[in-house]
Structure 1
Amino acid sequence: MRDRAQLVLAAAAIVAVALAPVVFAYLQLGYSGDVTASNDYESPVENADGVLSRAVQDTARDVPAEYGWDNRDAAISAMRSDLESELDTLQSSRVKSGTVYQTEYNQSAAEEWAQASCPSGPNRQFGDCVAERGVVVQNRGGETHVLGVAFDLRVTTERGWYEVTIPAETAG
């Protein structure tokens, strides 16, 4: 019986020693120190597009529709003011990793988007649609509704730079 116990103990030691490399290999699979944690590294423009789209959606929802059409300039100012913190966050978000975002409002792209995409038609009770300072607004029942914002985006990374125009629409 005593020999048998020693044999079982020796077998367990051999199994433990044999499993040690497997355990170390398993632990190494979880290491990602040299792998980018997200796809921001490979697609910084798509990352910024998503951030800008969400920011415009959220901000337009927070700008009250109680701005009368005659007071649309105040609605546009409120929209731009509320977007400022989101734009600042984007611009500083990836600086440590070597990606720099720069955004500017694009008036001509906003005008093009307004001409091509503003909701209209015989079954809609919508009024004028205008683009001012890069923000597209529409008269709906005498109230100002924000429909979108056009941005020029410049992304600089360690691999190069990109310049694109992004029209960010609201759900309105």
Structure 2
Amino acid sequence: MRRGQLVLVAAALVAVALAPVVLSYLQLGYHGDVRATADYDDPTTDARRVLDRAVATAQSGVAGEYSWSRRADAVARVRSELEPRLDRLRTSRVVSGTVHAVTYNGTVAEAWRTVHCPGGPDRQFGACVVDRGVVVQARTGRTHVVGVGFDLTTTTPRGETNVTVFVRPVGDRHERS
């Protein structure tokens, strides 16, 4: 019986000791990571989603439509189809104080091509080429858009965020060689 009473007293002491900690936590309203809360809207993440959709849409209009010898025309069409979407992204949230600057990045596109489009006799598809930030690949003699490199700068009242991204069309996410 004495041991049971001792355990009960110890439990009561622990509960009394933790009560101020719990009350303090509830009163302070601590948020470990503001970006993790549902009410924080990350404009860079939103812009990245816009780029994902824009590249997928632009790529779908070009997929297999151009011969490999006309790949420069395919890249021009992709960039032409992307431009209105990029313009909307650049101006979409100016009123709320958010500005997106988007430019093509041929360096990140070339880095991606070097790693993911190796040469050699065992590759499944043809060569990859970077043209004005767009990576295209020869597949059965036709031009396919593999991805686009971008620099994205987001400026908000909270500060500025710079990211470099390589966006692959949704239907082309698995690795190609």
| TM-score normalised by structure 2 residue count | 0.70
Q: Residues 18-64 of structure 1, C-alpha deviation per residue, up to 9 Å, x if partnerless?
A: xxxxxxxxxxxxxxxxxxxxx79631111111110111011100124
Instruction: Give the alignment of 1:1-172 within 5 angstroms.
Output: 42-118=41-117, 125-170=124-169, 171-172=171-172
The size of the alignment, in residue pairs, is 135
SS at 2:127's partner residue?
strand
Based on CA coordinates, which of the two structures has the bigger radius of gyration?
1
CA RMSD across the alignment:
2.1
Q: Could you report, residue by residue, the CA deviation over 1:88-147 in whole angstroms, capped at 9, with x for unpaired residues? A: 111111111100001000000000011122388877531001111000000001110001
Structure 2 unaligned blocks of 5 or more = 1-37, 173-177
Alpha-carbon distance in structure 1 between the residues aligned to 2:119 and 2:40: 40
Q: Helix, strand or coil: the match of 1:70?
A: helix
Query: Which residue in the other structure is 1:17 paired with?
Result: none
1:127-171 CA distance string (max 9 Å, x none): 001111000000001110001000001111011111110111012
Q: Is the 8 A contact 1:152 1:165 kept in 2?
A: yes
1:56, 1:148 within 8 Å by CA — same for their partners in 2? yes
Which residue identity lines up with residue 152 of structure 1 in the other structure? D
Give percent identity, aligned residues only: 49
Distance 2:90 2:119 in 1: 35
**8 A Cα contact 2:119 2:127, kept in partner:** no
